[in-house]
A and B are shown apart, each in its own frame.
Chain A
Amino acid sequence: MTAITPTKSPASTNLPASAFHRDYKSIRTLVSVGLSVLAGTLTVVACIPLFSVLFMLIVRGGTRLLQGGLAIFTELPPGAMAKPGEGGFGNAIVGTLTMVVVAVLIAVPFGIMAAIFLTTFGARNPLSTFVRFAAKVMTGLPSILAGVFAYVAVVLLTGGFSAVAGGVALSVLMIPIVMLTAEEAIKMVPQKMKDAAIGMGCTPAQVTWKITIPSAMPGILTGVMLAVARAAGETAPLIFTAMMNNFRWAIDGKQPFVHLMRPTSSMAVFIYNSSASFSQNLIDLAWAASLVLVMMVLFFNIGGQLLSRGSRPKR
C-alpha cells in the first residue's frame, strides 16, 4: 500500500524524473508513511473488540448452549441454587419477540405514514422540515429516556409493568428509524413511474399505494429490519417498563393469549440481571442468551442490509 505515491499523476510527465522520486530520508515522506502505518494500525485495533466479543460469545455461550440443549429454549430461568446445566430462558425469548411485535405494530404504520407525508402530501409544506427534524432528534434520544417516558405514560396510567409498556418504549426508538429509511426509499422511486400513473388519472393515494409503496418496499423493509435489530437488543427501556418475570411464561397454559398486561421477561434484561449473579449457572446462561440475542440481532441487521443491496436502483 505504500507503493502508491501521490506524485504519480500522468499529467506531469514533462517534469524531471527526480520530481517523482520518493526520498525515504526526507522527513515529509517519513511522516507520511508513519501516519499511514498509524492509521492502519488504529483501524485494525478498532476491529479487535468485535472479534473478542464474538470469540467469547462462541466459546462461553456456545458451550452452555450445547450443554443445555433444547431445554434452554423451553425452560424457565433456574434459581440460584440450581445445579449447573439446569434451566433456560424460553420465557425471555417469547417476551422479547412479543414486545418487538407490539413495537412493530405501533412503529411501522406510524413511520411509513409520516414518510408518505414527507415525500408526497407534505413535500412542499414547511411543516415537513419540522417533522424531519423531530425524527432526527428522536434518533438521538437516549434509550433509557424512552423507558422513562413509557413508565410515565403507560405504566403509571395502566397501573403495572407490562409487555405493552415495553413495546411502547421500544416503538419510540423504532419510529424515527422506520420513518427516515422509508423516506429515503420512497424518494428513490423514479419520478417517471409516478408521472405515468398520474398521467393515467390516478389519485395521489392510488399513486402512493399502487406505485410508490410497492416499489419502495425493499427499502422500507430494510428500515423495519434495522429498527427491529435495534429494538431487540435494547435493555435500558425495558428494566422499568416490562420488568422481569422469571417464574412465568409470557403465554399462559390455560389461555392461548400472550399476557400483554403482565410483567414480561426479555433476553436483554435477563442478561443484565444475571450478569453479576453469584450463580455460575446463571452467568453461563447469560452468555448463552447473549449469543442467541446477538445472532437474532445480526440476522435482522444483515437481512436488512442484503435487502437494501438488492433494492438499489439499477441504472
Chain B
Amino acid sequence: MTVISHDSGLTQGSITQPPSGFDRFINTGTKLLAWFFAIGTIALLAYIIYEIGLSAIPAIKEHGASLITSNEYEPNADKYGLRAPILGTLYSSALALAIATVFGLAISIFLSQGFIPRKLEVVFKNIVELLAAIPSVVYGLWGIYFVIPFLRDMLEPLGFTLGARSMLPAALVLAIMVLPTISAISYDALTSVNPRIKEAAFGLGATRWEAILKVIVPTASTGIFGSVILGFGRALGETMALAMLLGNKNVFSFSLLDPGNTLAALIANNFPEAGEVEMNVLLFAGMTLLAITLVVNVIGASIIQVANRGKKGARQ
C-alpha cells in the first residue's frame, strides 16, 4: 500500500492534521442542530397535541358533556351536540374499511403470490400507488360529477332514490382513498413471508389457495392487521371527500342513502364561517378527532413494528 502524502507532511512527522478550530466549530454546530431538530420532532408533536387540546377547553367548560351526548347541532340556537359527527366518522370509516380491506387484501395477494408476470405486477402496483397520489379534492370533484350520477342511475331501477349527498358515494370514494395504504402494507407483509413456508405447504399437497389462506396469510396476519388499522386511521382523518360528498348534515343514520357528517368534514365545512363560540366547539371536534386518530395510529404503528421485528428475527 502506498502512502500518498506531501513532503511537508512527512517532515512534520504526520500525514494528517488534527481538525482545526473551525472544523470543530462546524462539528459541534452540526451536532447541536441535529439534536435540536430531533428533539424538535417530539416537541412539535407534543405542541400539536397541547395546542389543539388546550384550545378545546373553553368549549368543554361551556357545554360540558352535551358536546358528545347531544344530537342537536344548531349554532343559531347555541346547541352544539357532536354525537352525529362522531358516530358518522366511525361509521363512514368502518364502511370504507370493509370495502378497502376486501379489495386491498385481494390485490396484495394477487400481486405478491406470482399470479402474473413480474412486469405486469409492477404495472399494477404503480397504478394502485397512483391512486394515493390523486389529491382528495379531485376525488371529491369526481365523486360529485361521476360517482353520484353513476350510482343514481344504477340504483333507480332497483327502486332506491339517491339524494344529492349521501353516505354511499362518500364511503365508496373514501374506500378508494384508503385502498393504497392497505394494499401496500399488506403486500410488504406478504412478500416478507419466508418462501420456504409456502414450499413446505405445497410439498404437503396443498393447492395454491390452500397455501395462501391457511399458511401465508396467517403468517403475515400481524402486518395485514396493522395495515387495516393504519387504513382506519387514514379514513378517520380524511376530510375533503366527505366534506364534498356526505352533505354536512348533523344527523346520524345507518342508511347508506342518507346524508351525514364526520368530525373532519364538520370542521372543514363550518370553520371558515364560524363565530367565536362555534369555533371553540370545532376546536373541540378537532381534539376529539385527534384523540381517536392518535390512539388508532399508535396501535397501528406498534403492530407494524412488532410485525417487522418478527421479520428480522426470521431471517437470521
Q: A144-B286, A145-B52 are in contact. Are A36 and B115 (CB under 8 A)?
A: yes
Q: Is A301 an interface residue (CB 8 A)?
A: yes
Residue A142 is within 8 A (CB to CB) of chain B in the complex: yes
Mark interface residues in A109-151 (1 if CB within 8 Å of B CB, else 0). 1110110111011100001101101111110111111101101
Beta-carbon contact of A38 and B233 below 8 Å: no
Q: How many residues of A contact B (CB 8 A)?
A: 97
Chain A residues with Cβ under 8 A from B142's Cβ?
52-53, 56
B45-A137 in contact (CB<8A): yes
A sample of 12 more A-B contacts (CB under 8 A), given A36-B209, A205-B30, is A117-B35, A118-B38, A121-B30, A134-B45, A142-B238, A148-B286, A201-B16, A206-B23, A272-B140, A275-B140, A290-B135, A297-B135
A-chain residues with CB within 8 Å of residue B264 when the two chains form the complex? 142, 144, 236
Tell me if B's interface is mostly helix, strand, loop or mixed: helix
Is the CB–CB distance between B38 and A128 below 8 Å?
yes
Q: Which of B33, B47, B179, B237 contacts A145 (CB 8 A)?
A: B237
20 A-B pairs with CB atoms under 8 Å apart are: A9-B203, A43-B107, A43-B124, A50-B130, A52-B142, A114-B34, A131-B41, A140-B230, A140-B296, A142-B290, A204-B31, A232-B135, A233-B137, A235-B135, A240-B271, A271-B138, A272-B137, A272-B140, A272-B244, A275-B137
Does B293 contact A141, Cβ atoms closer than 8 Å?
yes
Q: Does B74 contact A (CB under 8 A)?
A: no
**Quick check: A144 and B237 within 8 Å, CB to CB?**
yes
Contact string, B14-46, partner A, CB cutoff 8 A, digits 1/0?
Answer: 001111000110110111011111111110110
Does B146 have its Cβ within 8 Å of any Cβ on chain A? yes
Q: Which of the candidate stretches B75-83, B155-163, B188-196, B297-305 sits at the interface with the other chain?
A: B297-305
Interface residues of A in 35-62 (CB under 8 A from B): 35-36, 38-40, 42-43, 45-47, 49-50, 52-53, 56-57, 60
**Among the listed A28, A116, A175, A276, which residue makes an inter-chain contact with B34, where contact means beta carbons less than 8 Å apart?**
A116
Most chain B beta carbons < 10 A, residue from A31, A128, A133, A293: A133
Complex Cα distance, B34 from A29, in Å, reads 58
Q: Which of B102, B109, B131 is A50 in contact with, Cβ under 8 Å?
A: B131
A6 lies within 8 A of chain B by Cβ: yes
Interface string of B217-248 (1 = CB under 8 A from A): 00000000000001001101111100110000
Whether the pair B45, A138 counts as a contact (CB closer than 8 A) is yes
Q: Return A221 CB to nearest CB of chain B, in Å.
A: 17
Say how far A219's CB is from chain B's closest CB, in angstroms: 18
Map CB proximity to B onto A200-242 as digits: 1 under 8 Å, 0 otherwise: 1101111011000000000000000000010011111001100
CA distance A131 to B30 in the complex (A): 18
